Amino acid sequence: MTELNTLGLAEARDLLRKGETTSVGLTEACLNAIENAGALNAFVHKTPEIAMERAQAADARIKAGDAPSMCGLPVGIKDLFCTKGVESQAASAILEGFKPEYESTVSQKLADAGAVMLGKLNMDEFAMGSSNETSTYGNVVNPWRRGNDDAPLTPGGSSGGSASAVAADLCLAATGTDTGGSIRQPAAFTGITGIKPTYGRCSRWGIIAFASSLDQAGPMTKSVRDAAIMLEAMCGHDPKDSTSADLAVPDFEVMLTGDIKGKKIGIPKEYRMEGMPAEIEQLWADGTEMLKAAGAEIVDISLPHTKYALPAYYVIAPAEASSNLARYDGVRYGHRAQLSQGDGITEMYEKTRAEGFGHEVQRRVMIGTYVLSAGFYDAYYNRARRVRTLIKKDFEDVFAQGIDAILTPATPSAAFGLGEMTDADPVQMYLNDVFTVTVNLAGLPGISVPAGLDKQGLPLGLQLIGRPWEEGDLLNTAYALESAAGFVAKAGKWW
């Protein structure tokens, strides 16, 4: 018999409905897997009592024939989501001990859909990072290794705990958030599926803010079908987020027909980066062939401003972060520094923020402060926002030509070793998001699908980018790609 924690959402749901397993059984299997996976450092606040309580309630609902879409399915929640009465600290020391008095809309929607919360997942501090090395809880370790080499690898970031936990079967699925690639890059590094929906699909209310015009929540799952199920439960209009879209949420799962005949798939020439590993290039070509064989029409396209997406992002995201993170002042929640005799309120702010924020967060807050400061606002911030308009127009132009989806690599490499980038300058780390960040700037939906292994045995992902609000169609194209790629590899258990 398959161990219950290794199931995906759809399989577990079907077994539950048939009465062949119970939510309590699934939840116990996951809690047990979590207990034995300390080496991955994925779960940082465990909530077994909440989990068992919700699992029992779910079993009762299933028995009564009143089961909502995710009834009884155990999931992990990224630490960025505020969860009532449970530590929520965005992996930052500045929110040490913070227990929200309220629940984020997305985690509430999941609870309403019957999902069982197992605990909170590690991440980069305030979601700022691409390797999960900036967390106050320490690094997350990728369950995948290079062949027989036991050097620990990054699961990617910032949703690294979510990625590692799903890939290692500690939960059936997890929530992530994506500001520049933080769902799609770790999904690719760990051989799982991750979708960032259109900006406005998921409410941001109760998600600790990084860059508000870019942040979106999304599911990280073991299959495209699971992504469809969980995304539907997570999204929908919320009056508490003024940017949340008042649009009907379709049934994404029934849209998974696998039929993509006649769909136009764009291949953007600007994503063919200098120095891109041959294996990534090959994977991309293979993915293109798979979609073609499934009946799609392949079209070469151009997104001319691609090169400027990362520099624009590294103005806009830090600018918004410097404003959002101004609230951490040692007054209302979290850490406050010990003050010396004669220290006033300014010293309290400065010492609190120096002690509470890690290095990368401090750097980004200060860059943001600089680009917004008097005399530089126009030259940096306004220019970046103009470039962002052009980047979005690039996509609008190709969609106007009839392109249905765009295929690109998800990342410029496979997972790298923890610590390998320590001596690199910050820009080298930022390059991890080169294929994903355009999608956030344009507000589009993007999905990463595992598509192959490199010669060291590490997973590689492909990204599909869709039209705004057409997640259903995008998921269907991803489903066709997933079926053709037939990726079934799992990390060998060493932890």
Partner 1 sequence: MSIDQSTAAKVAKLARIKVEDDALPALASEFNTILGFIEQLNEVDVDGVEPMVSVTPMRLKRREDVVTDGNQQDKVLANAPDAREGFFAVPKVVE
Q: Give, as ranges, the residues between 183 and 212 that touch partner 1 (CB under 8 A).
A: 198-200
Q: How far apart are CA 98 and CA 86, in angstroms?
A: 8
| 292 catalytic residue (yes or no) | no
Report which DSSP code applies to 319: H
Q: Give, as ranges, the residues between 410 and 449 that touch partner 1 (CB under 8 A).
A: 425-427, 430, 441-443
By the rule CB under 8 A, 97 interacts with partner 1: yes
* Closer to partner 1 by Cβ: residue 181 or 468: 468
Report which DSSP code applies to 326: G
Specify whether the CB–CB gap between 366 and 337 falls below 8 A: no
* Closer to partner 1 by Cβ: residue 50 or 367: 367
Of residues 418, 412, 415, 446, the one with CA closest to residue 431: 412
Smallest separation (angstroms) from partner 1 to the CB of 179: 13
Give the pair of three-digit tokens for residue 455: 């010669």
Smallest separation (angstroms) from partner 1 to the CB of 332: 6
Specify whether the CB–CB gap between 492 and 36 falls below 8 A: no
Selected range binding partner 1 among 73-81, 173-181, 239-247, 483-491, rule: CB under 8 A: 239-247
| Cβ-based neighbour number of residue 430 at 10 Å | 17
By the rule CB under 8 A, 245 interacts with partner 1: yes
Q: How far apart are CA 24 and CA 30, in angstroms?
A: 10
Specify whether the CB–CB gap between 222 and 192 falls below 8 A: yes
Options 167, 187, 367, 410; binder of partner 1; rule CB under 8 A:
367
Selected range binding partner 1 among 49-57, 96-104, 287-295, 450-458, rule: CB under 8 A: 96-104
* Closer to partner 1 by Cβ: residue 281 or 347: 347
3-state SS, residue 113? coil
| 448 catalytic residue (yes or no) | no
Of residues 168, 60, 188, 165, the one with CA closest to residue 117: 165
Catalytic residue among 88, 158, 162, 164: 158
Binding mask 296-325 for partner 1 (x = CB under 8 A): ---------x-xx-xxx-xx------x---
| 322 catalytic residue (yes or no) | no
Options 386, 419, 420, 483; binder of partner 1; rule CB under 8 A:
386
By the rule CB under 8 A, 339 interacts with partner 1: yes
Catalytic residue among 78, 120, 196, 263: 78
Give the angle subtended at the CA of 17 by the CAs of 12 and 21, to the nearest 5°. 55
Q: How far apart are CA 3 and CA 30, in angstroms?
A: 9
By the rule CB under 8 A, 63 interacts with partner 1: no
Specify whether the CB–CB gap between 175 and 76 falls below 8 A: yes
Catalytic residue among 104, 159, 164, 182: 182
By the rule CB under 8 A, 239 interacts with partner 1: yes
* Closer to partner 1 by Cβ: residue 60 or 326: 326
Q: Give, as ranges, the residues between 387 and 406 that touch partner 1 (CB under 8 A).
A: 387-390, 392
Buried b (16+ CB within 10 A) or exposed e, 277-290: bebbeebbeebbeb
Residue bearing tokens 């979708």: 195
Options 20, 150, 246, 423; binder of partner 1; rule CB under 8 A:
246
Tell me the catalytic residues.
Answer: 78, 158, 182
